[in-house]
Amino acid sequence: MTTDFSEKKAVELDRQDPLSKYKSEFYINEDTIYMNGNSLGLLSKRAEQALYTSLEDWKNQGIDGWMNGEEPWFYFSEKLGRKTAPLIGAKPEEVIVTGSITVNIHQLVSTFYKPTNKKTKILADAITFPSDIYALKSQLKRNGFEPAEHLIQVESEDGQTLNEDSIIEAMTDDVALILLPSVLYRSGQVLDMKRLTEEARKRGIIIGFDLAHSIGALPHDLHAWGVDFAMWCNYKYMNNGPGGVGGLYVHERHFGTEPGLAGWFGSDKDKQFDMAHTFTPAPDAGAYQIGTPHVLSTAPLLGSLEMFLEVGIDLVREKSLSLTDYFITLADQKLEGLGFTLENPREPHRRGGHICLRHEEAASICKALKAKGIVPDFRSPDAIRLAPVAFYTSYHDVWQTVETLASIIKNKDHKTYSNKRNVIA
């Protein structure tokens, strides 16, 4: 990207950045560089205002906020689904904002996992986020199958990345369903979702993706690719707040499929308050809602989405790649010989929104970084994840982070801290 590694160059890059103005829209503590947006995004002023709007509706309208509020709650999930759809290349009716990521895994797998005499197995990978595997194992058990036999987990050759060829080879005749991450949570590798979906469909296998580490960081084309289903959280790059409500996508060809977990908010809106004991599901992705929306954990997303719709996900991706490319360039120059190993794919199309550095003293380095005002993310046993987020991370932030990493090792600042994770890492 550049052969100029100076602070002056970083400042110049920020002056040229069309998204630099958005940094002032977020609450960032003074003298702090926030590099943990791939775990929890920061609060924006627009998200805050959207939450205040729902609070005012509750305060002033009471129960009438469901239909008469400034942002009526009864249709909130559908409205947010329509606004989210362009970020993932879906039709508006294919997306609903609801649930948590793990609840949505359970909902969608219980809906689309239809074991037969010949097809009983679920295909996943060996390095995905643990919650996905917990959910898949429990779904197998619910259907009377032992996970040890019926859950196939494709191994990683290097412990950090996956080979799509190996995944395709595992798409055998006995596989009924596939669930894979779009971006690996450690290394940031982007899987070729289009290719994997095409191969799954050739074999008559239902395929879905966990978009936790890709939504809000890179564009998707789920509908055109033919992806059957997907789910995600909204509290990382989407900046919806801690525990903020997630979302799910179902391709329109599956509309009318009865949800595996039925609940009254999955009802057709016109019939929901008939109070009949016969479930009449919504005709679209809304059918996969279960319970009453968590309005106050959903509202901030409306403000956050405004910025994505203003800018467009393509420009967000362009800056994200530029930031991670700049980080890698600086790291190659300034961190060489200091014990760090870059685990990200270097090819832009295979790299998500965060940087992953491995170091045998990663836990203590993360503690030293926090003491110096830089907020990282540690993943056991030796991974430092750093997310330069397009909306609120500057090139100067990246420059300063790399400089600080080098300084910590050279000055042995991390030796002050134990090389063990805290309760929450």
Which residues sit in the known binding site? 101-102, 129-132, 210, 213, 235, 264, 292
Q: In terms of Cα–Cα distance, which of 93, 97, 408 is closest to 251?
A: 93
Closest CA to 48 of 413, 302, 346, 257: 302
Phi, psi (degrees; rounded to nearest 5) at 2: -155, 155
Angle at 276 between CA 272 and CA 277, to 5 degrees: 115
Are the C-beta atoms of 36 and 375 separated by less than 8 Å? yes
Q: Which amino acid is at 126?
A: A
3-class DSSP state of 401: helix
Backbone angles phi, psi at 63, to 5 degrees: -60, -25
**Phi/psi of residue 375, nearest 5 degrees:** -100, 110
In degrees, rounded to 5, the angle at the alpha carbon of residue 48 between the alpha carbons of residues 81 and 23 is: 95
| Binding residue ranges for pyridoxal 5'-phosphate | 101-102, 129-132, 210, 213, 235, 264, 292
* Among candidate residues 184, 293, 187, the one with its CA nearest the CA of residue 244: 293
Sheet holding 247-250, edge to edge: 95-97, 247-250, 229-232, 206-210, 175-181, 121-125, 151-154
Alpha helices in 174-312 (DSSP H): 193-202, 222-225, 295-298, 300-311
CA nearest neighbour of 70 among 85, 86, 49: 49
Q: Hunting for tokens 């290719």 — which residue is that?
A: 195
